[in-house]
Amino acid sequence: MKQRQLGQFSVSAIGLGCMNLSHAYGIPPSEQQAEQLLLSALDMGVTLFDTAALYGFGTNEELLGKVLAPHRSRFTLASKCGIFREDGKRLVDGRPETIKRTCEDSLRRLKTDVIDLYYLHRWDKKIPIEDSVGALSELVAEGKIKTIGLSEVSADTLRKAHAVHPVTALQTEYSLWTRNPEIAVLDACKQLGVTFVAFSPLGRGFLTAKMHDVIHLDDKDIRRSMPRFSVDHFAANAGLLDGLTRIAHDAGCTPAQLSLAWLLAKSDNIIPIPGTTSLQHLQEDMTADQIDLTPHLIEALDQLINQHTVIAPRYNAATQSEIDTEEF
């Protein structure tokens, strides 16, 4: 696979988001299937694996620790703190003492002495960002993490954090149908030398053009709470997929590969991290770095799917209140 720079690390241009191996999209795959997918990704040349304490409330980190610890020297490991479960409740907690305690938990689950890239998963707005990043900087000094990342924050918050300690990566949802980073964060990342990591680069499955409806989503699938995946909004947005499929045909690839190639073409400091439970889709996604899009095709995509043509926000009001990203 082609390589991109992530701070001090050279990693595959497309990383693997590991959340859905344990969390969020209904019943996860079996442990055996998840292990096979992780090892297949490693064999394909994927060298960036992204997890979090939140995913499966620790089980995703345990999975990666069990499967990938024997291959630790072959990849860059990213995890996240700041959201976790305690006493059966999901908590957003950015207090320095909590960050340090949960880092120890993550190191144990991941079976590693150091996490390469450790994100603050959410900015706890009750705590100054400088305090949370200060705790992360102490973890760097102690050798427990190598670099610091932030997730779902604004350009202003990024700059405040970067003034305390250099931020290596900022992770936020970015895809053809979620353009919020284009407001300010992408420019801020370029100015500060921060790599932008794009999660949900395939629109939580929408941009694969393989989702035919939403009525069969599992009851525990987080998309059920997302406005774009309501029956009416999904049906309206699905009208964009015929055009996406035509452009993919012109580019000689699948809609998923086209969507990833579009992100890679936007800037060389962007690294998408699609997730999947399918070996076939993994192979499809991880070969998208071989696709070169012409300016004409990029322009056609930009005109087809953007913040003006997509109906409904990405998050419901409760989730939106937790994040700090700029909104159209």
- Residue 150's DSSP bridge partners are 120, 170
Query: What DSSP string runs through 37-62?
Result: HHHHHHHHT--EEE--STGGGGHHHH
Tokens describing residue 117: 């890239």
What is the CB neighbour count within 10 angstroms for residue 212? 10
The secondary element (H helix, E strand) that includes residue 267 is none
Give the active site residue among 55, 118, 174, 315: 55
Phi-psi category of 179—alpha, beta or left, where left has phi over 0 and alpha has psi -120 to 50?
A: alpha
The DSSP 8-state label assigned to residue 242 in this structure reads H
174 annotated active-site: no
The DSSP 8-state label assigned to residue 175 in this structure reads B
Tokens describing residue 28: 């996860």
Helix (H/G/I), strand (E/B), else coil: 212: coil
Long-range contacts of 319-322 (CB under 8 A, 24+ apart): 319/225, 322/92, 322/122, 322/152
- What is the Rg, in whole angstroms, of the alpha carbon atoms belonging to the chain? 19
Tell me the HSE value of 10 on the side-chain side, using a 13 A CA sphere.
4
- d(CA 249, CA 244) in angstroms, rounded, equals 9
Q: What is the dihedral of CA 115, 113, 14, 321, to 10 degrees?
A: -30
Catalytic residues: 55
